[in-house]
Amino acid sequence: MPRLRSSMTTLAFLLPVLALSAAFRFLPMLGAVGLSMTDYHPGGDWRFVGAENYQSLAQDEIFLASLRTTLGYAALHVPLTVVVALGSALLLHAVPWGRGLFRAALFAPYATSLVLSAVIWRRVLEPTGFLERPSTVLAALAVVGVWRGFGYAMLILFAGIRNVPADCLEAATVDGASAWQRFRHVLLPALRPALFFVVVVETVAALQIFDTVYVMTGGGPVRASYTLAYAVYDYGFRYFDFGRAAAAGVVLWAIVLLVSLGQRRAFDRNP
């Protein structure tokens, strides 16, 4: 009886998320997969083409390059975000005054218009020429992307740091551990769950980066910042190749899932 009751409660607790996800995430996803196997035209009149879109993508140099570009961007964005967010969180924890003010300031990028941020960052980066050179444009975009998004990770990590039992740290200090040793052996392990979340979420976001690319470089120069998510937008809404766009979207989804599962293996040990 208790077992059944427990199962019913489990189901009840899961129901809202399950129902919402089923209707508004899984269903459209299936729709997108279906779309990827057609040559859809907005005016109707489409036919089923099987794996043709995927085959065409596999032979498309531009698409394959966008895969590399996307992975390259994520490789820059995620470590930078973790470092900046963790660093800010630690600093925030260390300063004894004005925390509220600093937090509000660090949150400000979210309240700033994207277009204006792009204009200002372009102005700032102009003398360096980083946005103009294919070799450095991804790094420049990563900086802007991190600037826009690190507040979220920082707040999560800050909450994580605050949860670390104070007496653990005290005990370590008493034992003669240096600041670095305290960080490495007490703080980091305690932050593992929060760090895992940050890494996964930032990776997912970085692999799907679109906004920053759209306003700052339009995928250029010479497609050096032409990411997969931008390709999905391009194929779909510029060239009206919605089947192809959906196929590219499915490919991106598969990549993100693989990377996330890999990260889970590395970070998220089950209790």
Using CB under 8 A as the binding rule, the residues of this chain from 54 to 83 that contact other proteins are none
Q: Which residues of 159-194 are buried (b: 16+ CB within 10 A; e: fewer)?
A: ebbeebeeeebeebeeeebeeeebbeebbeebbeeb
By three-state DSSP, how is residue 46 classified? coil
Site residues for other proteins, 78-107, by CB under 8 A, read: 84, 88, 91-92, 94-107
Interface with other proteins (CB under 8 A), residue from 44, 50, 174, 176: 44
Binding part of the chain for other proteins, among 47-55, 72-80, 155-163, 180-188 by CB under 8 A, reads 155-163
Interface with other proteins (CB under 8 A), residue from 71, 147, 169, 177: 147
Interface with other proteins (CB under 8 A), residue from 21, 55, 178, 181: 21
Q: Could you give the CA distance from residue 68 to residue 74 in angstroms, rounded to a whole number?
A: 10
Q: Is residue 50 a contact residue for other proteins (CB under 8 A)?
A: no
Q: Residue 183 CB, nearest distance to other proteins (Å)? A: 14
Output the six-digit token pair for 129.
């020429």
Alpha helices in the chain (DSSP H): 2-21, 27-35, 52-58, 61-94, 99-107, 114-125, 137-162, 166-174, 179-182, 188-207, 211-216, 228-233, 242-267
Interface with other proteins (CB under 8 A), residue from 131, 142, 199, 206: 131
Site residues for other proteins, 156-175, by CB under 8 A, read: 156, 158-160, 162-163, 165-167
Q: Could you give the CA distance from residue 54 to residue 147 in angstroms, rounded to a whole number?
A: 35
Binding part of the chain for other proteins, among 73-81, 114-122, 170-178, 180-188 by CB under 8 A, reads 114-122
Q: Does a cis peptide bond (omega within 30 degrees of 0) precede residue 96?
A: no
Q: Is residue 218 a contact residue for other proteins (CB under 8 A)?
A: yes
Binding part of the chain for other proteins, among 12-20, 75-83, 169-177, 180-188 by CB under 8 A, reads 12-20
